[in-house]
Amino acid sequence: MKKIILSTICGLLLASNCGLIIAQPKIVKENVAFADKQLTYSLEQVKAATTDKLNNPRTIKDGKLSMAPSWEWTSGFYPGILWYMYEYTNNPKWLQEARHFTKLTESQQFVTNTHDMGFKMYCGYGNGYRLTGDTAYQRVLIQSANTLITRYNPTVGLIRSWDFNKDRWQYPVIIDNMMNLELLFWATKATGDSTYYHIAYNHAKKTIENHFRADNSSFHVVDYDTISGQSRLKQTWQGYADGSAWARGQGWGLYGYTLCYRATGDKSFLEQAKKIEKYIFSHPNMPKDLVPYWDFNDPDIPNTPRDASAAAIYASALYELSTYVSKTEAKDYLKKADKIIESLSSPAYRSPLNENFGFLLLHSTGAKPFKSEVDEPLVYADYYFLEALLRKNSFAAKR
């Protein structure tokens, strides 16, 4: 097994616990103050809307707060947001709330019908374990990793993403699945068992082979033959067309290969992340504020929705990627990430205080082809926005 390299900034997200914070950048300080108030309001709204089955916020639908059950792929983001607020503020209020909402997803550690274990479990339990060292959280994460690897087929060399549309797909794998590999890399560190590492590594390698076009944009869905292990279909589900570049999907790739390089030191993962970055930010349809349209190839641009969630993912990934490249490249990546944060912090994208049920960001797009969550707040946009701010804070302290 390749040596797992350590982050140069205490796991990238441990700024407050590593004593790195000297002086918060003004934009970080202002956003944290806003988030502290807005998420306090959010808690009121969420608790009022909670039922036995619906226990975490996802978006706004028809002017009402749309809640989701623990089994949905977005269920880990709200606990993760609360953990980030605790990390920023060290306020025991956020610790208490983070523990409460994290606990609500505990049963999901055993659910085998989804690839989204990283999203559901690592965002909440992973951040919780990182910040508290609670061994109960560690046990949940290890079980979650064990559950996730049941979806790995060694013939295909990938973790299966979806179980639906079996009349169309044999073994579908989506670019989003790159984000669930972090849980597996962590599990090898925690247990010493390299099984998790090798599965994650194989998945990342084969995704490079089949998911990317010559221009380094990615398909959303690649379907594989379960006997030969070869790709058989390359399509989209949430993008404009099979051959288009769905904006958030490009972000999953950028972020995913950056974390894979961190975990493995394999230069091919670093190069892939850099190629994806170049595609995203050299695209002629990228707006000046660096908040992309929901799909880079939508023919209705500029009269089509943006996706703030994609922008937040880009920013968070760029802050980390900047630590693995040359000084010239790092300067470029940081400039772009800072521009995204500046844009998302503006009234054009950030919610007014005590409005929009406590969501932080507006103007994200979930699945436009299905007219679902179009130009609405999304909980994962808020999660990656806060993560990006925390990472910016860490790097500002280093400079």
In degrees rounded to 5, what are phi and psi of residue 173? -130, 125
Q: What is the mean pLDDT of residues 300-319?
A: 98
Rounded average pLDDT over 52-73: 97
Average pLDDT over residues 337-348: 98
Helix and strand numbers (H, E) in the chain are 13, 9
Sequence ranges of the domains in the chain: 26-398
Give the pLDDT confidence score for residue 114 in this predicted structure. Answer: 96
Which DSSP helix (H) or strand (E) runs through 302?
none
- Per cent of the chain over pLDDT 90 is 92
Q: Where are the beta strands (DSSP E) in the chain?
A: 56-61, 64-68, 152-153, 158-159, 172-174, 221-224, 231-235, 364-367, 372-376
47 to each of 39, 54, 382, how far by Cα in Å? 12, 10, 18
Concatenating the DSSP letter of every residue in 184-242 gives HHHHHHHH--THHHHHHHHHHHHHHHHHB-TTS-B-SEEEE-TTT--EEEEE-SSSSST
Q: Which two tokens stand for residue 293?
A: 């349209």
- Would the CA dihedral through 386, 77, 163, 139 be positive or negative? positive
pLDDT tens-digit map of 149-201: 999 999 999 999 999 999 999 999 999 999 999 999 999 999 999 999 999 99
* Residue 159 CA: distances (Å) to CA of 115, 123, 156, 268, 359: 7, 19, 8, 20, 32
Residue 217 identity (one-letter amino acid): S
The pLDDT tens digits for 359-392 are 999 999 999 999 999 999 999 999 999 999 999 9
Q: Residue type at 263?
A: A
| Residue 3 reports pLDDT greater than 80 | no
Quick one: pLDDT at residue 397?
58
Distance, CA of 313 to CA of 310 (rounded, Å) = 5
CB 285 within 8 A of CB 296: yes
What would the mean pLDDT of 212-231 be, rounded to a whole number?
Answer: 98
Candidates 22, 101, 104; CA nearest to 71 is 104
Active site residues: 116, 176
Give the fold, CATH level 3, of 26-398.
Glycosyltransferase (1.50.10)
- Strand, coil or helix: 337: helix
Does residue 339 contact residue 315 with C-beta atoms inside 8 Å?
no
Q: Which residues contact 175 (CB under 8 A, 6 or more apart)?
A: 207, 211, 218, 219, 220, 249, 252, 253, 256
The model's confidence at residue 395, banded by pLDDT at 50, 70 and 90, is: confident
